[in-house]
Amino acid sequence: MYRLCVHRCASTFSLRYTTKNEPILEYRRNSNEIQQIQKILEEYKLKVTRIPCIIDGKEFWTNDIQKQVLPFDHHHVLAEYCYANKEIIQKAIDRAVKNQSTWDAVPIEQRANIFLKAADLAADLKWRSRLVASTMLGQGKTVFQAEIDAACELIDFWRFNVQHMASAMAYQPTSTQDSDNSYGYRGLEGFVAAISPFNFTAIGGHLASAPAFMGNTVVWKPADAAVLSNYIIYKILEEAGLPPGIIQFVPSKGEDFGRTITQSHDLAAITFTGSTKTFKTLWKWVAENIDHYRTFPRLVGECGGKNFHLIHPSADITTIVNGTIRSAFEYSGQKCSACSRVYLPRSLSNEFYSQMKTIMESQLRIDTPLKFDTFTSAVIDRNSFNRIKMYIDYARKSSSAKIIFGGECNDSVGFYIQPTLIEATDPNHKLMQEEIFGPVVTVYVYDDKKYDKIVNLVNQTSNYALTGSIFCQDKTILEKTRDRLVNAAGNLYLNDKSTGSVVNQQPFGGARLSGTNDKAGGPHYIFRFSSPLAIKNMKVPLTTFKHVSME
């Protein structure tokens, strides 16, 4: 029965759908959206939201209560949630496995309609303002940064995944006079584990929902600092009609979750976004358990970066200054794509530093995101604060680096790090190689005549290859440089900053140790969570075992 259903999906069901990117709301003074967001911000500030684990649609609590605080005011508790222990994680896995085949048998249009409904709910101010407000409060984003992430990107992921599936379903294999051939998409037997980062609300929603759309059941571990916004996504999906037990919501300690899922015989895939270090750990644990699985688990991981701005002497100075300010310091450099190494020709260095300092000194408000003219706020938590401060202290003591501007760190109220501009005289300095994931950018000034060598250096300096930008107004040199840096990034920008990818405009993901490069927001991502089935239906009898040549 189940197999028949898959075949039917392949041959007779069709899915026609095209979409556009969700427009970004502007949050102007007195606009509807600003009034609504202020109301919801107040509501969340005045209470502590309690967030359970959810398995098969039922709430579970443990005694391991955790607190989500405001990064910019760490005495203020925003939400309380509990960590699932290993037994609860296992229960979530068992239920997910049990529900998988029934869910996979639901026709693709029905599944698509649930996620399209979820996108419409998220686009409406009622839920949109909750997504945006919880991201501002819990993850410390300004209203603009929260809007492009928690609203627009999430909505786009949901809608474009349906469009990508519709395009793929247009393909059918060649049939002949003798045989009908068809091709269809099944979810993976077992369960998919989704492990998401703190820095993009949309990524949490996407990691959990893309496999579900493809007929999988999912056990989702959100990041600690994003629990409230991710719980809101769960509630939207519930209201959109996602049946209970398709996505299990289990906040938990990373190691407990990682160990339990990788020890499960039923692990079908891990979809992960976070640091390269954590992804390597998960990969090792999968390798340790390889003899216990019923399939080869798919490992999809989008990881860290050491993203570059390579500036040619012909570059437009205003573009590189504004682009570097935005890429390196928006959301305090906590985007995987944030620029954190700059290669600057000596001929532009005085002007670049002078313009950067003018902006950094007097035009960037570093404050609570609840003030709408704030440029950026605190970093996410104490661990991040300590790690970023350690890099700044390292630069302070280093004989081959100097702080040009910034460097102040203050954690008395929130985890505040001042946007910091550093110059390194060694192009292989630690700060030119390692991901810092904070508002710190390091510049290496090169002799204009050595541009050619610098291109090699950009390519070889880091094991990461996530994003990078080339700023150059000479078209021939720009194209040559682009061709030499094709392996240095998964997302390469020409005369634009290295952040700000948009779903289906710049499908996103990095090469080398930045991840498996499955390109979230692009046409292929969802198929990592599908096991296609090809069926040949023979219409004529086989009347002899002999080939013509044998007669």
Q: Which residues are catalytic?
A: 302
Find the binding residues for ligand NAD in span 522-551 (CB under 6 A): none
Find the binding residues for ligand A1AUG in span 363-392 (CB under 6 A): none
Per CB under 6 A, the list member of 437, 444, 451, 525 interacting with ligand NAD is 437
Q: Is residue 459 a contact residue for ligand A1AUG (CB under 6 A)?
A: no
Q: For residues 55 and 530, what is the distance between their CA atoms, to the nearest angstrom?
A: 23
Find the binding residues for ligand NAD in span 233-272 (CB under 6 A): 254-255, 257-258
Q: For residues 368 and 355, what is the distance between their CA atoms, to the nearest angstrom?
A: 25
Residue whose token pair is 């200054």? 321
Q: Is residue 438 a contact residue for ligand NAD (CB under 6 A)?
A: no
Q: Which is nearer to ligand NAD, 201 or 217 (CB)?
A: 201
Find the binding residues for ligand NAD in span 323-362 (CB under 6 A): 336
Q: For residues 190 and 93, what is the distance between their CA atoms, to the nearest angstrom?
A: 9
Find the binding residues for ligand A1AUG in span 477-506 (CB under 6 A): 499-501
Q: Which stretch binds ligand A1AUG (CB under 6 A): 83-91, 310-318, 331-339, 445-453?
A: 331-339
Cα torsion at 365, 370, 376, 378 (round to 10°)? 110
Residues 338, 501 contacting (CB under 8 angstroms): no
Residues 282, 85 contacting (CB under 8 angstroms): no
Phi, psi at 269, each rounded to 5°: -165, 155
Q: For residues 448 and 317, what is the distance between their CA atoms, to the nearest angstrom?
A: 15
Q: Which is nearer to ligand NAD, 103 or 191 (CB)?
A: 191
What separation, in Å, do the N-terminal and C-terminal C-alpha atoms of the chain show? 42
Number of Cβ within 10 Å of residue 116's Cβ equals 19
Binding partner selected for residue 181 from ligand A1AUG, ligand NAD, none, CB under the kind-specific 5 to 8 Å limit: none
Q: Is 411 exposed, middle or buried (0-12, 13-18, 19+ CB in 10 A)?
A: middle
> Nearest approach, Cβ of 498 to ligand A1AUG (angstroms)?
8
Q: For residues 478 and 483, what is the distance between their CA atoms, to the nearest angstrom?
A: 9
Q: Is residue 83 a contact residue for ligand A1AUG (CB under 6 A)?
A: no
191-195/267-273 β-pairing: parallel
Binding partner selected for residue 255 from ligand NAD, ligand A1AUG, none, CB under the kind-specific 5 to 8 Å limit: ligand NAD
Residues 223, 273 contacting (CB under 8 angstroms): no
Structure tokens at 60: 């579970």
Number of residues that bind ligand NAD (CB under 6 A): 31
Q: For residues 435 and 307, what is the distance between their CA atoms, to the nearest angstrom?
A: 9
Per CB under 6 A, the list member of 139, 262, 337, 504 interacting with ligand A1AUG is 337
Per CB under 6 A, the list member of 275, 319, 355, 398 interacting with ligand NAD is 275
> Nearest approach, Cβ of 273 to ligand A1AUG (angstroms)?
8
Q: Is residue 199 a contact residue for ligand A1AUG (CB under 6 A)?
A: yes
Residues 72, 414 contacting (CB under 8 angstroms): yes
Q: Which is nearer to ligand A1AUG, 41 or 388 (CB)?
A: 388
Per CB under 6 A, the list member of 218, 240, 269, 336 interacting with ligand A1AUG is 336
Per CB under 6 A, the list member of 128, 164, 221, 335 interacting with ligand A1AUG is 335
Positive or negative, the Cα torsion across 284, 290, 294, 296?
positive
Q: Is residue 200 a contact residue for ligand A1AUG (CB under 6 A)?
A: yes
> Nearest approach, Cβ of 284 to ligand NAD (angstroms)?
10
Q: How many CA within 13 A on the CB side of residue 383? A: 4
Number of residues that bind ligand A1AUG (CB under 6 A): 9
Question: Which uninterrupted H or E stretch holds 245?
Answer: none
Q: Give the residue nearest to ligand NAD (CB).
A: 258
> Nearest approach, Cβ of 199 to ligand A1AUG (angstroms)?
5
Residue whose token pair is 């499955």? 518
Q: Which is nearer to ligand A1AUG, 481 or 499 (CB)?
A: 499
Question: Which uninterrupted H or E stretch holds 308?
Answer: strand 307-311
> Nearest approach, Cβ of 261 to ligand NAD (angstroms)?
8
**377: closest CA among 199, 143, 141, 198?**
141
Find the binding residues for ligand NAD in span 196-235 (CB under 6 A): 196-200, 203, 221, 223
Give the residues across from 219 on adjacent strands. 193, 248
Q: Which stretch binds ligand A1AUG (CB under 6 A): 23-31, 307-315, 335-343, 401-409?
A: 335-343
By CB under 6 A, name the binding residues for ligand NAD: 195-200, 203, 221, 223, 254-255, 257-258, 273-275, 278, 281-282, 302-305, 336, 435, 437, 466, 508, 510, 514-515
By CB under 6 A, name the binding residues for ligand A1AUG: 199-200, 335-337, 499-501, 508
